[in-house]
């Protein structure tokens, strides 16, 4: 997976967070559709963290492979 695809997926996750924030009822955030929106926000945040870890691991792999040459 190249860097462009990773960045696109991060942007999509950010857009999903923004959409889910609009669905949250801040008066009752743990009732009805608000809880589903909060779960969606948490899932998108987890996806962003995983993608950032993946990007960092790719950079480390390139450095390690470059040192062996």
- What's the pLDDT tens digit per position in 40-64? 999 999 999 999 999 999 999 999 9
| pTM, two decimal places | 0.85
Tens of pLDDT along 2-16?
Answer: 889 999 999 999 999
DSSP assignment of 19-33, as one string? Answer: HHHHH--TTSTTSTH
Q: Where are the domains of the chain?
A: 3-68
**Residue 32, Ramachandran bin (φ over 0: left; ψ between -120 and 50: alpha; else beta):** left
């Amino acid at each position: 997976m190249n860097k462009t695809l990773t960045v696109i997926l991060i942007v999509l996750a950010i857009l999903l967070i923004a959409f889910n924030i609009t669905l949250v009822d801040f008066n009752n955030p743990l009732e009805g559709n608000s809880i589903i929106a909060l779960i969606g926000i948490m899932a998108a945040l987890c996806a962003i963290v995983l993608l950032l870890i993946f990007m960092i691991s790719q950079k480390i792999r390139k450095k390690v492979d470059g040192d062996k040459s």
